[in-house]
Structure 1
Amino acid sequence: MTASLRGWRGPPGSPGRVAGVTTTTSLDLTADLTTLTAAVCDIASVSGDEAALADAVEAALGAYPHLEVLRDGDAVVARTHLGRDSRVVIAGHIDTVPLTTDPVNLPTRLEGEGADAVLWGRGTVDMKGGVAVQLALAAALTEPTRDVTWVFYDHEEVDASLNGLGRIAREHPEWLAADFAVLCEPTDAGLEGGCNGTLRAEVRVAGVAAHSARAWTGSNAIHSAAPVLARLAAYEPASVEVDGLVYREGLNAVTITGGIATNVVPDSCVVTVNYRFAPSRSVEEATAHVRDLMAGYEVVVTDAAAGARPGLDDPAAAEFAAAVLGVTGGAPAPKYGWTDVARFSALGVPAVNFGPGDPLLAHKDDERLPVAQLDLCRDALRAWLTA
């Protein structure tokens, strides 16, 4: 059955509409994974323009009687109701960062053959390869050994207040009720536990404006920001072990602004810093750390999100790790960036990252995916869901 709860979809502008790129189409969930991934990618869905892809996902999943399909805005949820002893959520976002025209990164193109084939194009890594794996399994697994909630959500690549998963958590928390969750973010087909937290803050430096020909009558705020930059340059980020995984922290200046004209001594300068902190720290502890480092300066936190501990000691997580690593090999690793596993953690649901694609290629103009990873991730998830 299909229930449609349509909310705000974002502006109907054209950031995702490029000549030669599909805007509306149907998806064949029984196609081979390379074909399905290309089809999902070729429905352009830059953040704020996900409606066409959400429509296609909703229609495709609605054809399968073993799934209940729900929708909120441009987020689509499909779930089984088999009366299993446990329920898991498998989630992925359907939006991408903006397209480029030089080079053109949509439509997708396939290079090579067989196990060496590579699919190029926007979204192949972040994260429509993972979305295609989700769609194929949602259609194929009519009798999984766990009840499954498949989540396809919007607005992940933009401001956190617009995030579709966050919106579902606020407005339909029962849709996300589960014993365990998997986020199909790109991990190079490896298992990555938890994620770092992130904090952005403005370090504000004051000065006194003056004519630049008589600079001695003022105080140059940009010059006075030099000690801020020196502290950041000398900062040695920590590596912190959390539940057996080592998370690398980082604290960097990411923007600097100041001055109003080329003949005026600036009376203000703002250095924006981004602190990526281990999930053992709270947002409050991360804030205190930045304030301590920048003692003597005004520090204004503009955005912050807590990380998520790995949670691999949870029985459901340990069972997932054993099943998946039995197919892919390797060992669990930390997720250095922030991902929506933190949202599940806040809901009390243990969660991990697992999906195809090299995260170092996410958002790059030469984004590309070895298609062999699609089959590997599908097979690993299927082994877990049918064990």
Structure 2
Amino acid sequence: MPAFDPAHPVLDLAESSVVLTQQICDVESVSGDEALLADAIVAALSGCRHLEIIRDGDTIVARTNLGREQRVVIAGHIDTVPLNDNLPTRYETYEGEEYLWGRGTVDMKGGVAVQLKLAAELVAPPVDITWMWYDHEEVSNELNGLTRLAANRPDLFVGDFAILGEPTNSQIEGGCNGNLRAEIRAYGLRAHSARSWVGDNAIHKAASVLDTLANYRAEEIEVDGLVYREGLNAVGITGGVAGNIIPDEVMVHVNYRFAPSRSGEEAVAHIHELFPGFDIRIVDLAVGARPGLDAPLAQKFLAAVGGEAKPKYGWTDVARFSAMGIPAVNYGPGDPLKAHADDERVRVSQIVSCEAGLRAWLSNGS
């Protein structure tokens, strides 16, 4: 077999999911530059007669149409965050474990590789399957390939259960926390710093905001048997005009991760309760998703994979499926703590076990 050329990639779906992960990762696909990888995915699946292939921009959908009673949606994004001298991939041994090192190995091309291999090989699964590989996940929601696809082809989102291949150490993580970002502003009056008593220092007024954040104790909230840990933190602060001017405005950028038991309105109300008297501007709000583990298909999936389901603390696109009435979980190889890291690397054994779990469920357990 000729050497893999990332400039002219050919994805070999007959290879192992580990080799396929390496091939996919070695194709640069930073958000906005996914076309080459999307082309390669379409070409790799073109000979699969059991799949209907649909392309929307750089989002690829492949689905079976076998007339089964139930349909499962399995999705993964093909973009990555920017590189930092971490391609091409390489194999490493660390503390006795073999890893594949490089951008995208964890978030989330290992999961995409597993999905592509199974999409090609599972010709007659017991449920119909809609596979989705989408672009622009690592940037704003407006650019997200699923946002666009839902607007253009809402019929493709029909399903009884959904799985998102986000990194979970190849364990099931149900639902996800919600995410809110707010700008908390205080105002004062400019003056020369030599005569500070003439002015009103806005930055000093932010002290109570910072005190509230420093003393905040994150709640742990049980939702359908899983315990979600919340978080409230300052992630940025801006203010000041010059070294000799009393500032008239300060802004504290606050990030709130809230349990999926809370609605978006309740999360916003909580921020207003914590910071009365301040100018509060909500700049981003994404509600979470309940675990989705009470669905019959989810129970069978959990039984096939084994282990104990855990909560997903970060926001993921499972929330999108949950909002559409489709129970959804996260399941993919890789340690989420290594997502976006410069030393991003995935255990080879986790790619193998993720494939085995999905294959067992889609072959017998559905």
TM-score scaled by length of structure 1? 0.91
How far apart, CA to CA, are the structure 1 residues paired with 2:240 and 2:152?
44
> Which position in structure 1 is the counterpart of 2:267?
286
Q: Is the 8 A contact 1:21 1:107 kept in 2?
A: no
Pair 1:49 & 2:33 matched: yes
Q: Is the 8 A contact 1:239 1:246 kept in 2?
A: yes
Q: Is the 8 A contact 1:21 1:44 kept in 2?
A: no
> Which position in structure 2 is the counterpart of 1:160?
141
- Alignment partner for residue 304 of structure 1, among 285, 288, 291? 285
Pair 1:94 & 2:78 matched: yes
What are the superposed Cα offsets for residues 318-360 of structure 1, whole Å, 9 maximum, x if unpaired? Answer: 11111121xxxx2000000000000000111110000000001
> Which position in structure 2 is the counterpart of 1:357?
334
> Which position in structure 1 is the counterpart of 2:126?
145
> Which position in structure 2 is the counterpart of 1:74?
58
- Counterpart residue identity of residue 378, structure 1: E
- Counterpart residue identity of residue 333, structure 2: P
What are the superposed Cα offsets for residues 49-72 of structure 1, whole Å, 9 maximum, x if unpaired? Answer: 111111111111122111111011
What are the superposed Cα offsets for residues 249-296 of structure 1, whole Å, 9 maximum, x if unpaired? Answer: 000001101112222211100001010000000000000001000011
Shift in alpha-carbon separation, 1:60–1:21, aligned structure 2, 3 A: closer
Q: Is the 8 A contact 1:192 1:352 kept in 2?
A: yes
> Which position in structure 2 is the counterpart of 1:246?
227
Q: Secondary structure at the match of 1:162?
A: coil
Q: CA deviation at 1:213?
A: 2.2
Q: CA deviation at 1:164?
A: 0.7
- Alignment partner for residue 40 of structure 1, among 24, 39, 50? 24
Q: CA deviation at 1:131?
A: 0.4
Q: CA deviation at 1:91?
A: 0.3
> Which position in structure 1 is the counterpart of 2:218?
237
What are the superposed Cα offsets for residues 211-245 of structure 1, whole Å, 9 maximum, x if unpaired? Answer: 22222211111111111000100011100000000
> Which position in structure 2 is the counterpart of 1:263?
244
- Aligned residues between the structures: 360
How far apart, CA to CA, are the structure 2 residues paired with 1:199 and 1:112?
39
Pair 1:313 & 2:294 matched: yes
Moved more, 273-282 or 212-221: 212-221
Moved more, 42-51 or 57-66: 57-66
Moved more, 132-141 or 315-324: 315-324
Q: Secondary structure at the match of 2:232?
A: strand
- Counterpart residue identity of residue 152, structure 1: W
- Counterpart residue identity of residue 371, structure 1: V
Task: Name the Cα RMSD after superposition.
Answer: 1.4
What are the superposed Cα offsets for residues 74-121 of structure 1, whole Å, 9 maximum, x if unpaired? Answer: 100001111111110110000000000xxx2000001249x9321000
How far apart, CA to CA, are the structure 2 residues paired with 1:21 and 1:254?
41
Q: Secondary structure at the match of 2:10?
A: coil
How far apart, CA to CA, are the structure 2 residues paired with 1:375 and 1:364?
22
Q: CA deviation at 1:21?
A: 8.5
Pair 1:332 & 2:329 matched: no
Q: CA deviation at 1:364?
A: 0.5
Q: CA deviation at 1:375?
A: 1.0
How far apart, CA to CA, are the structure 1 residues paired with 2:242 and 2:113?
51
Q: Is the 8 A contact 1:195 1:335 kept in 2?
A: yes
TM-score scaled by length of structure 2? 0.96
How far apart, CA to CA, are the structure 2 residues paired with 1:368 and 1:354?
17
> Which position in structure 2 is the counterpart of 1:342?
319
Q: Secondary structure at the match of 2:203?
A: helix
> After the TM superposition, which parts of structure 1 deviate over 3 Å for at least 4 consecutive aligned residues?
none
How far apart, CA to CA, are the structure 1 residues paired with 2:281 and 2:197?
29
For structure 1, the 5+ residue unaligned runs are: 1-19
Pair 1:386 & 2:363 matched: yes
Q: Is the 8 A contact 1:43 1:53 kept in 2?
A: yes
The 5-angstrom pairing of residues 171-182 of structure 1 reads 171-182=152-163
Q: Is the 8 A contact 1:91 1:151 kept in 2?
A: yes
How far apart, CA to CA, are the structure 2 residues paired with 1:240 and 1:184?
25
For structure 2, the 5+ residue unaligned runs are: none
How far apart, CA to CA, are the structure 2 residues paired with 1:51 and 1:261?
46
Pair 1:197 & 2:178 matched: yes
Q: Is the 8 A contact 1:24 1:53 kept in 2?
A: no
